[in-house]
Structure 1
Amino acid sequence: MAIGWLSVLKMVPWGDVIESAPKVAQGAKKLWDTVGKKPAASTSATVATATPGQPEPTLAALQAQVTQLQVSVAELHQQMLASSALIGSLAEQNTQLIARVEVNRKRVLALAVVVVVLAGVLGSKLF
């Protein structure tokens, strides 16, 4: 199972991921700023026209429908705010994760160089 993950991780273009991480974070912040500035509910409503086979809706029924729609729009707006906050948080975590992966990659590379040098020194001493 670990071999499958290793092959997947080897195929990831880490340079591109690291390069694009700040752009992802900035995009998420822009989304959060854009969504956060929008009003919670829209006051505009379209009036439904009656079809020939149905009676015309009363004013009270239309007002109740508009009220329901406004509540639904407000709920959807709150969900959108929560979702965009989550996206911003995930983008920030992704940026931190990519930075840590890059540090670990450099450390593993340095460790590999040290191991190769030590293997060379050990090989020259033994032979």
Structure 2
Amino acid sequence: MAAGWWTVLKTVPWSEVISAAPQVATGARRLWDTVNRKPGAVDPATGLSPEMAAQEDDIIGLLIARSEQNDAELNDLRNQMRSASELIANLADQNAQLIAKMDVQRQKLTWLGVTAGLSALLSVVALILVAVRT
């Protein structure tokens, strides 16, 4: 079974994968920067957003605003988790389909090898019979 995986790994265009890696890293960095610049981001030093720092004298209002902000962020994270779960489920389905197709191709290749071997054997037998009769 390891030989099968080795042949699959040999068919992967690694040069394309390696050349695309910087683009993937750049895209991930851009996504991370976008998420960090999101409005209402909390200042790590104070633990307050810029809007909340201006209203520091109203503690109750500040706590309510912070609670509402946390609820909004929690809902946003739940939505992101749902979309990530959907993506993972889709990738798992695609992976299962890919494995099934690879198994079908492996079976076809096995039958092709058996057929080629039998054809070669019949060709050798026919060649021997022709050589013996002449």
- Residue in structure 2 matched with residue 51 of structure 1 by the alignment: 45
Q: Percent identity?
A: 8
Output the TM-score relative to the length of structure 2: 0.54
What is the deviation of 1:118?
0.6
Output the TM-score relative to the length of structure 1: 0.57
- Residue in structure 2 matched with residue 110 of structure 1 by the alignment: 118
What is the deviation of 1:16?
3.5
Q: d(CA) in 2 for partners of 1:120 and 1:113?
A: 11
- Residue in structure 1 matched with residue 17 of structure 2 by the alignment: none
Question: Deviation per CA, 1:13-43, whole angstroms, max 9, x where unpaired?
Answer: x99429xxxxxxxxxxxxxxxxxxxxxxxxx
- Residue in structure 2 matched with residue 17 of structure 1 by the alignment: 4
Q: d(CA) in 1 for partners of 2:67 and 2:47?
A: 19
Q: How many residues align?
A: 84
**Structure with larger Rg:** 2
Q: Cα distance 1:51–1:15, how it changes in 2: closer, same or farther (>3 A)?
A: closer
Task: Name the structure, 1 or 2, with higher relative contact order (CA <8 Å, separation 6+).
Answer: 1
Is 2:123 the counterpart of 1:83? no
What is the deviation of 1:79?
0.2
What residue ranges of structure 1 are gaps of 5+ in the alignment? Answer: 1-13, 19-47
What is the root-mean-square deviation in Å for CA atoms of aligned residues? 2.8
Displacement over 4 Å in runs of 4+: none
